[in-house]
Chain A
Amino acid sequence: MTCCAAAISSPELCRETLQRTRTLEEQRIVLASVQLSNGCYKTDFIVPTMHCVACIGTIERGLADIAPVKQVRANLSLSTVSVTWDPAQGDGCDITDALHRLGFEHHLCDISDTKKEKNSETKNLLIALAVAGFAAANVMLLSVSVWSGADAETAQLFNLIAGLIAVPTVLFSGRPFFRSALMSLSGGRLNMDIPISLAVILALGMSVFESMSGGIETYFDASVTLLFFLLIGRYLDHLMRQKARGAVERLAHLSSKFGVRILPDKSTVQLPLKDIKPGMTLRVFAGERFPVNCMIVTGTTDIDCAHVTGESEHLTVAEDSLVEAGSLNLSASVDVKATSDAENSFLGEMRRMISEAENGRSSYLRIADRMAQIYAPAVHLLAFVAFLGWIIVSGGDWHFSIYTAIAVLIVTCPCALGLAVPVAHVIAANRLMQDGVLMRDGSALERLAEVDTVIFDKTGTLTVGEPRVTRVLGDTASREPLIKTLADNSSHPISKAVASRFFEAVSVELSDLSEQPGKGIEARHQGKLVRLGKSNWVAEIATSLTSRNEEHSVSFAVEGREMVHFDTHDVLRTGAKECIKALESSGLTTEMLSGDLASKVSRIAAEVGIDEYRHRQTPRQKIDRINALQSQGIKPLMVGDGINDAPALAAGHVSFVPASASDIGRQSADFVFTRPSLIAIPNSYKIALQTGKIVRQNFGLAIAYNCIAVPLAMAGFVTPLIAAIAMSASSILVVANSFRINFQNHESHGEPQEKNKADALSYRSTAA
């Protein structure tokens, strides 16, 4: 069990904590916590590297030892640690420090806004399911004795007991269906819950009447088993959605929700995003994102706008430069003046565009609801016809006619239909999860099966989004440790690329480290100046320049020695070419919309094999392009990652984002793929097509069942025993058919297939 116990915190993390003052960290922890009635705080941390019992033990024992901690509980399924601590005996930073010491990377989890509601809804559904299961089993036992010929007195007693169990059960467990049916009726629409509610209530009502008047033909068992089966479908559907949504939410960074304000007396205070007003002076640390649109007041730094404009080059900004919200500050902390509040910042504008785009999509009707619009009126009409028919035939036998009409409603109750979609979707979602793809809800799978065009963003989607060293010019042999140590001390992406190139080298001693924004990083090693940065800045200390007037991303030199140059490029994501090829061979067209410069866009397009591409696209232009396609009847799948892609992700018929995407992008997409490879997209598409096929087969089976059962019921042949057998058989058939999704073999693509629920989180920790 040593798989992960010794995760050593990287130098970068330590630097970050040193830069931020303890008070700011403390405020942040308190803001994200819940205060309990006894004055203690409860704080949740996400610990992505917690994988086994050794980690749990290390964390729980390590944290329990420090002063303020009252209680600590690790949750392996969610990769979270929940800590209860007493502010009187220490502060929240003691906990984060202890986690650092133990060697675990951690993020704060914001539990201050109540997310409890969703959780309790799932629990309520599970309790309703348990009650229905208990009732179904017991009522069935009693009913079987009645059917197998108990004498009249016993049968009546058993019916009475069954009724006593069934009535409260239906009233309690049926609420989710009754509520949904009422809501749909008041909205003037028809959904599956209307025939369900009607059948359950009528079956119950008729059985109560029957047992009161001394009859033994009761449907108590039918009403509770119906509820039991349907609640299974409802619960699975809910569970799947909650699981995926929880995983997506936990990927969200907390940092973007706060800004650091500098008060007139130079002290700093943490401020929630919504309280930031234009004109305030804020401080943005290296490695953090700008909270609102800002103007730089003091300091110079490099910024990464890849998520904002799609541009892959880093810009150097100094005093009076304007920076848009969401840009990443790379090299030094700067003081800025807010020029907008959160509502009117670039991010706020994107959010407005997203909600506009989502309105368009809400008109999508799920396949089950489309079925319900035909099914519900047909069933009710049949029951009415049966009633009228028997009234005429039997010459006014009200009791028998009503009984037959209700029997029609009971056997046609869409039990199999209610299971047809959720079971298939849950199994598909599970298979997607094994491939590292998280699905937000079932309708996304239906929409994915319909797409005919795939639109890609470039930076961070088709490409990795961070530079990799592609060429080294000059002799690095003896200087690798020096280059690596120097590069490790900067959080600039190019430095990271250089450091990862020499990841095997050992670290050396450096002194006088300083990072110069827009230039690079310098230090002293054995008395000599060493620099890593812009070529012309490094050339100042080097003797000879071997470059033949070429542009290089970054150079390195020891004072008085020869320079070494590195070329970096934003390289293609793994599986990008295969993804495009697989999509085109399935008959989809591909297209690229990028905010980057023309030369870069055309180079990547040629490399992956996309013919149709546009460059310098603003978020508005991306949406316009998607709307233009949609007005031609084309259903586009959007794949993107940045803040600038978010509105387009919401506008697309369906959308994918990588786990490394911006928070806002992740929230507006339907699918999140957590493995680095893009091959997840064609694979998911295949699963969506298969699932669509299985769902249609399930509907076919359910309808075939009705074709047999309805004539029998209308003819008045159906007894409670026949109804019970027929309904259970059709449900089991549908569920069994859905399991075939698991058996359809799909091509292996050289990636580990083992199920890993922590995939999303662990990938992020390596990508961050």
Chain B
Amino acid sequence: MNHLLVLIPIALGLGFFGLLAFIWSLKSGQYDDLDGAAERILEDENP
């Protein structure tokens, strides 16, 4: 029982962290141009 009290908050916390990260990436426009992002990796120079 004692393990659970530690493990459950950790498990939920990790999931919640992932959810927040997803919402942040969505709001900051990282999914706006998926095709462009795929192509940009081929760019040689980074000005």
Binding site for B on A (CB under 8 A): 1, 52-53, 56-57, 61, 64, 74-78, 123, 126-127, 130-131, 134, 137-138, 141, 153-154, 157, 161, 165, 757
Contacts and interface: CB of A to CB of B under 8 A. Distances in A.
28 contacts: A1-B42, A53-B40, A53-B42, A53-B43, A56-B36, A57-B43, A64-B47, A75-B32, A75-B36, A76-B35, A77-B32, A78-B33, A123-B27, A126-B26, A127-B23, A127-B26, A130-B19, A130-B26, A131-B19, A134-B16, A134-B19, A137-B15, A138-B12, A138-B15, A141-B11, A153-B1, A154-B1, A757-B35
A157 B40 contact: no
B6 interface: no
Interface residues of B, number: 23
A161 B8 contact: yes
Contacts of B42: 1, 53
Contacts of B12: 138, 161, 165
Contacts of A77: 32-36
Nearest to B27: A123
Contact of B15 (A1, A134, A161): A134
Contacts of A76: 33, 35-36, 39
Contact of B22 (A57, A64, A130, A138): A130
A64 to B, nearest CB: 8
B39 A61 contact: no
Given A56-B39, A130-B26, 8 more contacts: A53-B40, A74-B36, A75-B33, A75-B36, A126-B26, A134-B16, A153-B1, A161-B12
Given A53-B40, A76-B36, A154-B4, A123 B26 contact: yes
Contacts of B23: 127, 130
Interface string B4-26: 10001001100110110011001
Nearest to B12: A138
Contacts of A154: 1, 4
Contact of A138 (B11, B26, B35, B47): B11
A134 B13 CA distance: 11
A78 B34 CA distance: 10
A593 B37 CA distance: 47
A294 B8 CA distance: 74
A56 B40 contact: yes
Nearest to A161: B8
Contacts of B16: 134
Contacts of B40: 53, 56
Interface of B: 1, 4, 8, 11-12, 15-16, 18-19, 22-23, 26-27, 32-36, 39-40, 42-43, 47
Contacts of A74: 36
Contacts of A130: 19, 22-23, 26
Nearest to A157: B4
B46 to A, nearest CB: 10
Contacts of A757: 35
A31 B26 CA distance: 30
Contact of B39 (A52, A126, A141): A52
A57 B8 CA distance: 48
A157 B12 CA distance: 14
Contacts of A78: 33
Question: Among the interface residues A74, A134, A153, which one has the most CB atoms of the partner chain B within 10 A?
Answer: A134
Contacts of A138: 11-12, 15
B1 to A, nearest CB: 7
A599 B4 CA distance: 86
Contacts of B39: 52-53, 56, 76
Nearest to B8: A161
A183 B21 CA distance: 33
A52 B42 CA distance: 10
Contacts of A137: 15
A123 B22 CA distance: 12
Contacts of A64: 47
A591 B1 CA distance: 77
A123 B47 CA distance: 31
A508 B15 CA distance: 69
Contacts of B47: 61, 64
Most buried by B among A57, A78, A165: A57
The 4 lowest CB-CB distance pairs between A and B, nearest first, are A76-B36, A53-B39, A75-B33, A77-B35
Which of B11, B39, B40 has the most A CB atoms < 10 Å from its CB? B39
A78 B35 CA distance: 9
B31 to A, nearest CB: 8
A186 to B, nearest CB: 32
A134 to B, nearest CB: 4
A141 B11 CA distance: 10
Contacts of A75: 32-33, 36
Contacts of A131: 19
A337 to B, nearest CB: 46
Q: Interface centre among A77, A141, A165, by most B CB within 10 Å?
A: A77
A764 B46 CA distance: 33
Nearest to A164: B12
A161 B4 CA distance: 12
Contacts of A56: 36, 39-40, 43
A304 to B, nearest CB: 36
Nearest to A133: B19
Contacts of A161: 8, 12
A230 to B, nearest CB: 19
A61 B12 CA distance: 45
A64 B11 CA distance: 46
Given A76-B39, A127-B23, A154-B1, A134 B18 contact: yes
B3 to A, nearest CB: 11
A63 to B, nearest CB: 12
A757 B15 CA distance: 35
Nearest to A137: B15
Contacts of B18: 134
B8 to A, nearest CB: 7
